[in-house]
Every structure is written in C-alpha cells, then in structure tokens.
Amino acid sequence: MIDLHSHTDQSDGSLTPQELVQEACRIGLEALAISDHDTLAGYDMAEAVAAEMGLELLCAIELSSRPAQQAGERRPPSIHLLGYFPESAPTRDFRHWLRTQQDGRRRRNLALVSKLQSLGVVITLDEVQSVGRNLTGRPHFAQVLERKGYVRSRQEAFDLYLADHAQAAVERDEPTPEEAIRRIRAAGGLPVVAHPCRLPQRDSASLAALLERWVDVGLEGIEVYYSEHTAEQMELYARLARRMGLAVTGGSDFHGATKPGIALGTGRNGALRVPYTVLEDMKTAHLAMRKAS
C-alpha cells in the first residue's frame, strides 16, 4: 500500500516531515509522496529520515492554479495540480518560481488581515502565523477565527469570511492550470490533476473535454484513487485515463489534525487502498512520456 498525496506542517498539515515519515512506516506504507502546497520544504526535510528508515519517498508538490476570469463572469474556482518527480529532483528554476508563489501568499495574507479588521474582526498576522508557522494559508485563518469565537467552525469561517466570494475574500496571484502544467513539465515532473471530484466539470463529456485541453499542454496524469471519490467516480476517472493515455495516481490527502477524518494511507473510514503497482505504472508512463518528448 502507498500514499501519493500527503501534507506536513510545512504547508497546512499538522505533522512535521519526520513525524509523517514515522507514521508511514508505522502503518506499513511501501512508498509515500509528500505533496505540500507550493513548497518542497517538507520533502527536503524528510528525505534523510526516510532513507534511514527504508521508506521510499517521492518528491511531489500540490500547486494552486486558477483559470483566467472571463469578462462579466464570477472568478472561477481554484484548481489544484499535483507534480511528481519520480526520477530526478525539480530544477533550480522551479524552486525559484515556487518562492514567488509563496511571496504571493504572504501578500494575500496581509490584505486578508486588513479586510477582516475592516469588518470588525480583531486579528493580527502574527497570531495567524503562530498557527500556520511555515506557510500560512486560509485554513490557519479559519482556526484563529474559530478559536476567538467569531465562527462556530472552520467551515463557517470559510463560508462567512474566507471563501472566494465571502465577505473578506482577497484574490491571490495564481498561475492558470496550463501554466502550472507547463511549469511542472519543464522542471522534469509529471503533472497530474488532483481530486477531479472537485472540478466544476462533473459529467463525463465536459470533464473529458477539459482534460483533453490540458493534455494538449502537457497533462500526464489524473488522481483516480482519493479519499472523497466514490467507486463510480474512480471508475469514470480510470476510464478517462485509459482513453487519454494518462497515468493513474492516488492518495489520501492526509493533513493530520487539520483534517481529522482522513487517515494516512487509508483515507476516510479506511476505504482507500492504493497498491504499489500504481507507482510502478506511473514511473513507467513518466519515463515513456519523457522519451517521447
């Protein structure tokens, strides 16, 4: 069993990279991918301990992207792309670009604090960063709002203040999905659409059309196995992967205490099982695509 989608406290997870590796070994995972949001710090910190403990650790990342907004339309929802580097480390250029994305997060956080304060919410960036520590994001704002009694739950924090069209919404500079795909490929990685169940295109025809556009710019895989996917959805995504020649990936999206209902390796209610053959097939597909390009 493997898990190719997990997060550490270097983004919005609760476990340190070392603790995550230890948990993976404790439950008997054969391979683990650390796919923190917009940073490779978690993977970098876990690499040595994983080697020492005999765990196959895959370098990965989860990038936030957003389609271009059309005139007269609401801002489209964010789309997440996973990038996997099964054969070689990401390039220095890619790491430099990631730092620009992190700078964009910091600017958004400053603007978000200001907007919340204008709505009468007593909050400072320092207290949010004390929760987020390494890469502060909206989930950390939600924790502070809940703790201070402004909302009853973290979901309510998003609904009232933090979601894209909520009262304190602040836009962040994000690449388009096409740019994110190209960036991952240029860095030597395998770009994969994350949790397709969250895409606005839900039916088979519209989802296929969207994937085909992304395949044209370099998409190489789709996350078929996922904690929130139904059996019917996994069947659909696997069928689309076969039809388009896409690699299949899968993982729990483990965040630790940030998402307490999701267990490493087994997802929600123990229903997830990603076999090692998924990783073997992904590596084979990536190698073939690299040679073809």
What CATH code is carried by the domain that includes residue 267? 3.20.20.140
Residue 146 is predicted with a pLDDT of: 93
Size of the chain, expressed as the number of residues it contains:
293
At 175-213, the pLDDT tens digits run 999 999 999 999 999 999 999 999 988 788 999 999 999
Residue 2 is predicted with a pLDDT of: 98
Residue 231 is predicted with a pLDDT of: 94
Based on the fold, state whether residues 133 and 193 are members of the same structural domain.
no
- Asked whether residue 168 is assigned to any structural domain, the reply reads no
Q: Determine the Cα–Cα distance for residues 99 and 84; give it in Å rounded to an integer.
A: 18
- Asked whether residue 234 is assigned to any structural domain, the reply reads yes
- Asked whether residue 167 is assigned to any structural domain, the reply reads no
Q: Does pLDDT of 129 surpass 90?
A: no
Residue 76 is predicted with a pLDDT of: 82
More confident residue, 103 or 22: 22
At 218-231, the pLDDT tens digits run 999 999 999 999 99
Contact 8, 33 (CB under 8 A): no
Q: Determine the Cα–Cα distance for residues 113 and 102; give it in Å rounded to an integer.
A: 17
Based on the fold, state whether residues 197 and 57 are members of the same structural domain.
yes
For 180, phi then psi, to 5°, come to -60, -45
- Asked whether residue 169 is assigned to any structural domain, the reply reads no
Residue 9 is predicted with a pLDDT of: 93
**What CATH code is carried by the domain that includes residue 155?**
1.10.150
Confidence of residue 165 (pLDDT cuts 50, 70, 90): confident
Q: Distance of CA 111 to CAs 14, 104, 129, 162, Å?
A: 25, 11, 14, 12
Based on the fold, state whether residues 85 and 194 are members of the same structural domain.
yes
- Asked whether residue 54 is assigned to any structural domain, the reply reads yes
Which is nearest to 1 in space by CA: 23, 20, 28?
28
Which is nearest to 87 in space by CA: 223, 188, 219?
188
- Say what percent of the chain tops pLDDT 90: 75
Mean per-residue pLDDT for 227-250? 96
- Asked whether residue 176 is assigned to any structural domain, the reply reads no
Q: Does pLDDT of 270 surpass 90?
A: yes
| Structural domains in the chain (count) | 2
pTM of the model: 0.90
Q: Could you tell me the residue range of the domain that residue 111 belongs to?
A: 101-162
At 89-105, the pLDDT tens digits run 899 999 999 999 888 88
Confidence of residue 253 (pLDDT cuts 50, 70, 90): very high
Q: Does pLDDT of 69 surpass 80?
A: no
At 144-157, the pLDDT tens digits run 999 999 999 989 99
Based on the fold, state whether residues 10 and 68 are members of the same structural domain.
yes
Q: Does pLDDT of 18 surpass 80?
A: yes
- Asked whether residue 228 is assigned to any structural domain, the reply reads yes
Residue 215 is predicted with a pLDDT of: 96
Sign of CA dihedral 38, 42, 47, 51: negative
